[in-house]
Structure 1
Amino acid sequence: MSEKILLIDGHSILNRAFYGLPELTNAEGLHTNAIYGFLNILFRIVEEEKPDYLTVAFDLHAPTFRHKMYADYKGTRKGMPQELREQVPVMKDVLMAMGITIVAKEGYEADDLLGTLAKKSEARGMDVTVLSGDRDLLQLASKHICIRIPKTRFGKTTIEDYFEENVKEKYQLTPAQIIELKALMGDSSDNIPGLPGVGEKTATKILLEYGTVENAWKHVEELKPNKAKNAFLEHYDMAILSKKLATINIDSPIEYDWESARIGEFYTKEAYEYFKELEFKNFLSRFEEGAEPAKIAVSFQNVTDFTEADALFEKLVKEPELGIEVLREAHQFLGLGLAWNNKEKEEVETVCIFPQGFLTESYLMDQVQKLCEKVERIDALDVKETISEISKVSHKKVFDAGIAAYLLNPLKSSYTYDDIAKEYLGEMLPAKEDLIGKLSYTKAMSEKEAKEKEVAKSICYMAYTALRSRKALMEALENNNMKALFEDVELPLLFTLSNMEKEGIRVNAEALKEYGSQLEVKIKALESQIYEEAGEEFNINSPKQLGVILFEKLQLPGGKKTKTGYSTAADVLEKLAPEHKLVADILEYRQLAKLKSTYADGLAGFIGEDGRIHSTFNQTITATGRISSTEPNLQNIPIRMELGRLIRKVFIPEDGFVFVDADYSQIELRVLAHLSGDENLIEAYKEAQDIHRMTASQVFHVPFEEVTDLQRRNAKAVNFGIVYGISSFGLSQDLSITRKEAAEYIENYFATYPKIKGFLDGLVTEAKEQGYVETMFQRRRPVPEIRSGNFMQRSFGERVAMNSPIQGTAADIIKIAMIRVEQALKEQNLESRLILQVHDELLIEAKEDEVEAVKAILEREMKGAANLAVPLEIDMHTGTNWYEAK
């Protein structure tokens, strides 16, 4: 078997880590995110590749051979951000402390050194892996040289592998022709100019026919399209120059000793000291007593026999702590993973059980329920998904690793076992993608060559991570002052949301169908009206055709033409609506079409056999802490137009029950009053004044009794706009006034409530200094955008810093209210139940003879959910459907 060498493009991977991770600093203020990310990738690749040799190549950032020769192009590279620049020498020191060979040479770029070492290593009979984000290196790929390129999408990093055949499959070209491709199409990230107007598709077509740039030049008169032919005729010298820029030097004069690059012990005392200094606590678990690496002690087994499974469950009820994973996909039960500490072997044992034969889903879930009720502590990545009868288990004995990880970083799109293990255990576990690629678990199980072993491992890793990460995650929550938020709010809320999902909400299917039919009639009538106003029939849903009608045929102003045609986005049409009735009708048509497809037709597919819709409520989606609803989204039921509100009529209570709906009144403004401590706003709320009328009186300098409805509406827009960090431009757009008038409104507002300005400015300063803001209940919202060099990003970060503590505190209060309301309903043994939460609103399906008791509970528990400087008020209504109750 050939020996293997791993070659890493140092600056490329550091750069990817720097931009892929939020800002991190140690106690001394050194930025560390690039180093941390680099090490994460390094450990993962070494674990996967198991190389015999390892070398990292760096640029020296002195003018290289190619810089000097083609300074006009290469010399235009953007400078490295200071926050990244300061991490480069530290990264090199860390690598040297770990005994990893580093190469760099003045006058040569890292990819030249990588190319030289890759080809020389291949010539020595080695298998070579090159890790880099630079696709120029694909020209090196061969049967024995693999180029691995990390790719980050939606916060998740996957790695693409390219041997020679993979390059051909992806690009239809040989690795050598990648140079030719870059010569023709250029590469803006590497300042390779290419030929103007020649893209990848055209360049590939030319190379498939002519092979090289030079040969294409010989046949220039035959080239198609004409645009490419003209580019060749006018800029052939640029193509040749680009080719030289793209060509990696595989014969760089570098002295290299393979034996000195042989992998030894990474986890040295010197490396341990660096990890401590950099505050990489998660990596310290790899060391024992500051020197030796900690091994991941875990054993896997599959259980397929009923007797064996029964014996296992009998044994596990005596365990003090279990990690449990119930894997479901599209509501289908796929498998069960269990993990526990074997103290004798000093390792974690894991087992996977797939439903088969007597090991039915029903049997397995019954056993899980027994375990949850008898074992002292249960750890899961998603408790709500794992414990079917969650109400029978105390929230004090469960731990949800997914929610804990979410609280610590609410900006991520998902909280997978491999990410949690990497961030909180310092362990590089193979991700789902590493085990089964891009397949879903269901697909992986049903393929011809079913990947049962890989799926089983993935399930076991989930249970293992849940069990092992509890201590680290709890410590992190405590260090970040969020332990109480986790234990007293988020964990109890799990149980409330689970019960709401099980209850669901009843739907009158016939009324829903009738609502759809009414919409269909209105849509058809609008269609005819639009065709008549346009003077012809066209596809109303085609932005391209609509753009032609509006901006060419009708000559309406403000048409912005893009590559695909005119923009007909909602904001564009809303500005045009006063100009022509057709535009107003188009906007109404879109609203009706959305109502029909999303609600009239869409909701019908979610009605269960019990006649109810069972939505899923999510705790780990929004960055501010708000609960979200999916499959279907019941929190997005339209309320702005009457026809949209009418959809609520199809939601009805069970026979013998009515709906009681309670909605917090202006909760975010009340939270602002409390957090800012502004006496004028607090006093207005204490005196139960009309807050919008009072603001209008102050802002527009008119007596309270003389405030007009328009002035009140404008003041209301200012009140709520301030909560969201609105700018004078944004307010001017909302109220259709000049920017100067909007600026005066805001100025007068801050004069009326002077402490609010200081409070909001203080939040921005706080975010800049510490990188996050907090709610009243210590929920953190990181704001990495606030330190961005990009003005738009920075402005967004400032708005987030101002709004998140307010919106997040309101979200925390409604969560506390939900827990208290449900608990009170149970304590009084009522049959009434909480079935829905929509932002600041709670909906109770109340038994007819329990309505007054339910009202009293809502009044007491919602108002008492938080102790603010101003009273929390609610609006409450009852009805025989949700429309009436609202």
Structure 2
Amino acid sequence: MTKEILLLVDGSSYLYRAFHAMPDLRNPQGEPTGAIYGMINMLRQARQKMPTTHIACVFDAKGPTFRDEWYPQYKANRSSMPEDLVKQIEPIHAVVKALGWPVIMVPNVEADDVIGTLAKRASEMDWTTIISTGDKDLAQLVNEKVTLINTMTNEKLDINGVTAKFGIPPELIVDYLTITGDTVDNVPGVPKAGPKTAVKWLTEYGNLDHLIEKSIEIKGVVGENLRQSIPWLATARKLLTVKLDCELDEHLLDLSELEAKHENHDELRALFVKYGFKTWLKEYHLTQDIQSVVSTQDSNAGTNDNSDTNNAQQPQMVVGDTKSANYECVVSADRLEFWCEKIQAAPITCFDTETTGLEPMVSELVGISLATEIGSACYIPLAHTTSEDQLNREMVLERLKPWLEGDQYKKVGQNLKFDLHILLNHGIHLRGIEHDTLLESYVFESHKPHDMDTMSLRHLGINTIKFEDVCGKGVKQITFDQVMLEQASRYAAEDADITLRLHESFSPIIQNDPKLKFVYESIEMPTMRVLAIMERNGILIDAEKLAAQSQTVGKKLLELETEIYNLAGQRFNIQSPKQIGEILFTLQKLPVVKKTPGGAPSTDEEVLLKLSEDYPLPARILDYRSLAKLQSTYIEKLPRMLNQKTHRLHTNYAQAVAATGRLASNEPNLQNIPIRTEEGRKIREAFIAKPGCKLMSADYSQIELRIMAHFAEDKNLLEAFANGLDIHRATAAEIFNVQLDQVTSEQRRFAKVINFGLIYGMSAFGLAGNLGIERSAAQSYIDTYFGRYPGVAKYMADTRALAKEKGYVETFFGRRLWLAEIQSTNAMRRQGAERAAINAPMQGTAADLIKLSMIKVQEWLESESLQTKLLLQVHDELVLEVPEAEINFVKENLDRIMTTVASLKVPLEVGIGIGDNWEEAH
């Protein structure tokens, strides 16, 4: 066998992966560097894992390719490359060359075609070729001498691998793609023919040509679609076939220039200094005279103090894996005792649970994993149904209970709120929770995903074992208690090990930044505990009231249905966008407002709202949609969601979702119950207090406007709030130049829209649409507003400038809100980021305030040993269940706590209501 091995890296695939996998890294000058950093990591890994004699990194060249000439719509639906990635393309090319990789780009030719041509030439020279890519289309190149490897998933596709993955051999991949189409490249296939259909057809008929010849045999709609698609399929196959005979320079075709070269340390030194990669300077032993160079760059960064600290504070990405880690399955009493002594002596232990499901209130414990040091962890199986030896669950929990409930034993985990619930299901109160990597990531980089698998890849360079790897997918997925112990132990112990590694990566950053430390330690960590209490408390639901409402709404839906059919002149599926489109635009000839990506007239909510201004049918369809969604999502569903043991509704609060810090609730989502409609308010009437109690609602009044007044420090605005004026009436008086007592209801309505519109960055165009006035009139109102409130105008301008300088804005408490598109050359994206920059500090500060209030209220309830319970948090509102004997005491102190939780330049105001149900209290 030949010794020559050619490694071809799909550089275009790599750079997108690197960009999306890494945090928003910046060098001292504020330039984005995350993709550069990730690219270096990936190419180093490739050379370490796949030692070869010849290498090349192939990128797409700028400009159109020959496929665009064949089919102008080719890749037409792809969004443009993110601006921050565009800025890193040339630096990536430079660093790839410095790492010893030949960089190949051929004008008018895609990277795939260059890779295909080089692979074919290597095969002709009897070389072995490895293609490193995540692009499934390149599976068509696989043969005895060509293999695909996806370094992100460790997936290897040789001939058998392709057949196992797709159900067909490599030589049929092009036919397969032609049938299914390629949505990424905007190449249509046969409508309704997915992968299973494609494999079935190709298996039965041998190839696409034979399938076309026998297409008359294919029955049903999909057969008709196939026959109608035949004129197009030749073009589709041509577009999807990788070209193997591209015109390349002769020195490339004989592969002589692709011999693996050594890294150029002089060039790497300059690049690492320029992009602030200080860790790699040390790792490469390139630190001679570096500190002075870096210091000079830092001093040249002007007032951009974030750019350097932002880069310096990134977690060091340690490339590696867990294959050499020491993971143990604990199935004996003596090994359990060994681990008990180990965790009792450890300064901190990573703790994780494996369960029968993901519902925190009902799932049961299957096993526990522990890690006290990196690279060493154990899994204690407790309730697997695999007939393998394992310890008794009750015995183990009894032995671990003093440690689990001991405040002195410090614990770290990933989303420990879930584990807290699972242990409560078994009568154990988890204490000593010191850190949570979910929240560490959320505080540090709220705009990134926070699941353990993604964070591991992003910050540790480790591709973890996934839940689907051990339990399967879809209908064939098993529960974790059915997993064999060897496989379960590797997965579960790795979870604990990886979580501990992530904590050690995040913790120094947060501890060394006072603002992040406050948000993490004083807001997010205590909030997690309060949310667990609220979720556990749950709330009562009046199922009979909802049943009665269901009948009323059902009757109204039938009436709307009849009205819609009469307006349309025929029956049709009201829930079908396609059929609605045919009725509105084909039969009734209504004007097309906008089109879908596929070119069909859109029937989304925005379109129907616009058409409703002039036509009754779209308005009735919207009414029907809204009511039907209310019926299915809440009225019918809520009674089915009651816990069988507590007979209460227990929502789940997602703490690390919204970048602004806002909480989200799910199962059910209580944030989205509409309160502007009668039906929505009736749903709230079904949320009730238990006998002998009332529901109490405490809602911050106009909180975001007050926060804007604080940030803007506008004299007129501050005075209005300080004097307790109706802020919308006060604004109307300023804008319309009338006395307060002369403001009309219509003027107040205008002022309210302007007040709230401006804090969301609304333009004159948006304001005009909301008020139903001319754009020039809307602009005049905005100009008058800023003339009366110059502090607000200055705040907005300063915030936009600061956001562009730092790449983020902050809340009053220091929560960092990242704005990825703030430097974009795309005007719409940049303006969207500027609007977010203005609003995010207000939304985020409001989120911080309600969280601090929850923490303080719960602490006070416990300190007073009250029976009152905190039940819900929705937007800026807290809902409590209060025994009648405690109502006055709680109301008085609730107002005090919430209005004094922070000191702003304006007074905080809380509206408190009391009632038998949520609607009455609110």
> What is the CA–CA distance in structure 1 between the aligned matches of 2:546 and 2:916, rounded to whole Å?
16
What residue number does 1:594 align with? 629
Which of residues 363, 382, 387 is equivalent to 2:420? 387
> What is the CA–CA distance in structure 2 between the aligned matches of 1:188 and 1:655, rounded to whole Å?
57
Query: Structure 1 30/873 Cα, relative in aligned 2: closer, same or farther at 3 Å?
Result: closer
What residue number does 1:336 align with? 368
> What is the CA–CA distance in structure 2 between the aligned matches of 1:550 and 1:190, rounded to whole Å?
31
Which of residues 790, 793, 816 is equivalent to 1:757? 793
Matched, 1:513 2:513: no
**TM-score (ref. length: structure 1):** 0.83
What residue number does 1:778 align with? 814
Instruction: Return the offset for 1:366.
Output: 5.3
Query: Structure 1 379/77 Cα, relative in aligned 2: closer, same or farther at 3 Å?
Result: closer
Matched, 1:570 2:605: yes
Which of residues 483, 497, 504 is equivalent to 1:464? 497
Instruction: Return the offset for 1:743.
Output: 1.6
Which of residues 840, 857, 868 is equivalent to 1:832? 868
Q: Superposed, which structure 2 residues align to 1:300-699 within 5 Å? A: 300-306=327-333, 308-328=335-355, 329-331=357-359, 332=363, 333-341=365-373, 348-356=375-383, 359=391, 364=396, 369-372=401-404, 373=406, 375-388=408-421, 398-412=434-448, 414-424=449-459, 426-432=460-466, 435-436=469-470, 439=473, 443=477, 450=483, 452-480=485-513, 481-558=515-592, 566-608=601-643, 609-699=645-735
Instruction: Return the offset for 1:727.
Output: 1.4
Q: Per-residue displacement from partner, 1:192-231 (whole Å, max 9, x unpaired)?
A: x99999x9999999999897999999x9xxx998977767
Instruction: Return the offset for 1:17.
Output: 2.8
Q: Per-residue displacement from partner, 1:646-688 (whole Å, max 9, x unpaired)?
A: 1112111222221111000000000000011111111000111
What residue number does 1:163 align with? 158
Answer yes or no: is the 8 Å Cα contact 1:334–1:442 preserved in 2.
Answer: no
> What is the CA–CA distance in structure 1 between the aligned matches of 2:837 and 2:62, rounded to whole Å?
42
> What is the CA–CA distance in structure 1 between the aligned matches of 2:266 and 2:627, rounded to whole Å?
68
Instruction: Return the offset for 1:585.
Output: 3.3
> What is the CA–CA distance in structure 1 between the aligned matches of 2:396 and 2:284, rounded to whole Å?
38
Answer yes or no: is the 8 Å Cα contact 1:183–1:243 preserved in 2.
Answer: no
> What is the CA–CA distance in structure 2 between the aligned matches of 1:74 and 1:59, rounded to whole Å?
24
Q: Superposed, which structure 2 residues align to 1:727-742 within 5 Å? A: 727-742=763-778
Instruction: Return the offset for 1:552.
Output: 4.8
The amino acid that maps onto 1:521 is K
Instruction: Return the offset for 1:115.
Output: 4.3
> What is the CA–CA distance in structure 2 between the aligned matches of 1:17 and 1:430, rounded to whole Å?
17
Q: Superposed, which structure 2 residues align to 1:836-855 within 5 Å? A: 836-855=872-891
Answer yes or no: is the 8 Å Cα contact 2:6–2:55 preserved in 1.
Answer: no
What residue number does 2:131 align with? 130
Q: Per-residue displacement from partner, 1:703-761 (whole Å, max 9, x unpaired)?
A: 32222212211211111111111112222222222222222222221112111112112
The amino acid that maps onto 1:443 is Q
Q: Per-residue displacement from partner, 1:576-602 (whole Å, max 9, x unpaired)?
A: 335454444333322221221111111
> What is the CA–CA distance in structure 2 between the aligned matches of 1:242 and 1:469, rounded to whole Å?
41
> What is the CA–CA distance in structure 1 between the aligned matches of 2:654 and 2:776, rounded to whole Å?
42
Instruction: Return the offset for 1:411.
Output: 1.7
Instruction: Return the offset for 1:817.
Output: 0.7
Query: Structure 1 692/104 Cα, relative in aligned 2: closer, same or farther at 3 Å?
Result: closer
Q: Secondary structure, in 3 states, of the residue corresponding to 1:430?
A: coil
Answer yes or no: is the 8 Å Cα contact 1:724–1:802 preserved in 2.
Answer: yes
> What is the CA–CA distance in structure 1 between the aligned matches of 2:172 and 2:607, rounded to whole Å?
45
Query: Structure 1 462/288 Cα, relative in aligned 2: closer, same or farther at 3 Å?
Result: farther
> What is the CA–CA distance in structure 1 between the aligned matches of 2:391 and 2:476, rounded to whole Å?
18
What residue number does 1:102 align with? 102
What residue number does 1:867 align with? 903
Query: Structure 1 200/854 Cα, relative in aligned 2: closer, same or farther at 3 Å?
Result: closer
The amino acid that maps onto 2:379 is C
Q: Secondary structure, in 3 states, of the residue corresponding to 2:571?
A: coil
Instruction: Return the offset for 1:636.
Output: 2.0
Answer yes or no: is the 8 Å Cα contact 2:114–2:244 preserved in 1.
Answer: no
The count of aligned residue pairs is 855
Q: Secondary structure, in 3 states, of the residue corresponding to 1:339?
A: strand
Matched, 1:24 2:25: yes
Instruction: Return the offset for 1:445.
Output: 5.5
What residue number does 2:56 align with? 57
Q: Secondary structure, in 3 states, of the residue corresponding to 2:833?
A: helix
Answer yes or no: is the 8 Å Cα contact 1:43–1:428 preserved in 2.
Answer: no
Instruction: Return the offset for 1:486.
Output: 0.4
Instruction: Return the offset for 1:129.
Output: 3.0
Answer yes or no: is the 8 Å Cα contact 1:661–1:876 preserved in 2.
Answer: yes
What residue number does 1:253 align with? 253
> What is the CA–CA distance in structure 2 between the aligned matches of 1:358 and 1:186, rounded to whole Å?
50
> What is the CA–CA distance in structure 1 between the aligned matches of 2:861 and 2:734, rounded to whole Å?
44
> What is the CA–CA distance in structure 2 between the aligned matches of 1:583 and 1:60, rounded to whole Å?
48
The amino acid that maps onto 1:253 is L
> What is the CA–CA distance in structure 1 between the aligned matches of 2:496 and 2:211, rounded to whole Å?
59
Answer yes or no: is the 8 Å Cα contact 1:714–1:735 preserved in 2.
Answer: yes
Consecutive unaligned residues of structure 2, counting only runs of 5 or more, are: 216-223, 289-317, 384-388
Query: Structure 1 534/670 Cα, relative in aligned 2: closer, same or farther at 3 Å?
Result: same
Q: After alignment, is 467-476 or 178-187 more displaced?
A: 178-187
Answer yes or no: is the 8 Å Cα contact 1:662–1:876 preserved in 2.
Answer: yes
Answer yes or no: is the 8 Å Cα contact 1:544–1:564 preserved in 2.
Answer: no
The amino acid that maps onto 1:523 is L
The amino acid that maps onto 1:815 is K
The CA RMSD over aligned residues, in Å, is 4.8
> What is the CA–CA distance in structure 2 between the aligned matches of 1:267 and 1:828, rounded to whole Å?
68
Q: Secondary structure, in 3 states, of the residue corresponding to 2:832?
A: helix
Instruction: Return the offset for 1:131.
Output: 1.4
Query: Structure 1 26/58 Cα, relative in aligned 2: closer, same or farther at 3 Å?
Result: same
> What is the CA–CA distance in structure 1 between the aligned matches of 2:447 and 2:804, rounded to whole Å?
17
> What is the CA–CA distance in structure 2 between the aligned matches of 1:545 and 1:754, rounded to whole Å?
51
Answer yes or no: is the 8 Å Cα contact 2:472–2:478 preserved in 1.
Answer: no
Instruction: Return the offset for 1:769.
Output: 1.6
> What is the CA–CA distance in structure 2 between the aligned matches of 1:843 and 1:880, rounded to whole Å?
12
> What is the CA–CA distance in structure 1 between the aligned matches of 2:471 and 2:96, rounded to whole Å?
31
Aligned-residue sequence identity (percent) comes to 32
Q: Per-residue displacement from partner, 1:418-475 (whole Å, max 9, x unpaired)?
A: 4334444x44243427954963899355699x46434432322221133233343122
